[in-house]
Amino acid sequence: MPTIEFFSPPNGDFVINPDMAWLKNLVLKEGPEYWNAGAGQASIKYDKGKRSPQLLIIFEKSLGFFLEYIDAKSVYYVSLGKGDFAHAVTVHICGEPLLLPSTFFIPRRLAWIAVEEFCRAGLRHRKVRWGKRSEQHWAYGHPEDGNGKGGRQE
């Protein structure tokens, strides 16, 4: 049976096999004081041996969650919401600013569906629209260096 490892952003703790009601509350109710503290990014690992998928979670208070799914072959997928590439927001990961397009963010309820499915089976939920990160026309960058617009993620 796989082990679920949840990395908590505020304190850096790993919670092994977290209680799903607790995790649901975090996704549906907690705000920036939890999600944007400390590392600013949570992760969940579906540990089933050598190659284990991982789900990275970033919160932005006005848009919801950016999910990044890394499969067992290290292929990256990003959540795709109703936003677009023309409107970007700055999030902070480990204190560093990162510019992300609004299209990468999905609402809390949809994020919870994705998190729950990942914890149950280590899979991407079909209700979330996913795109390969390498196919998105976006260069992840720092807001001040201009790399966030129009580039292609390699």
Task: Give the Cα-Cα-Cα angle 123, 124, 125 (nearest 5 degrees).
Answer: 110
% of residues, the chain, pLDDT over 70: 90
Positions of the chain with pLDDT under 70 = 1, 140-154
Give 81's DSSP letter. -
Cβ-proximal residues to 6 (8 Å cutoff; 6+ apart), any chain: 14, 15, 16, 18, 23, 42, 43, 44
Tens of pLDDT along 40-85?
Answer: 999 999 998 778 999 999 999 999 999 999 999 999 999 999 999 9
Tokens of 64: 């919801």
pTM for the model stands at 0.89
Return the pLDDT at 150: 40
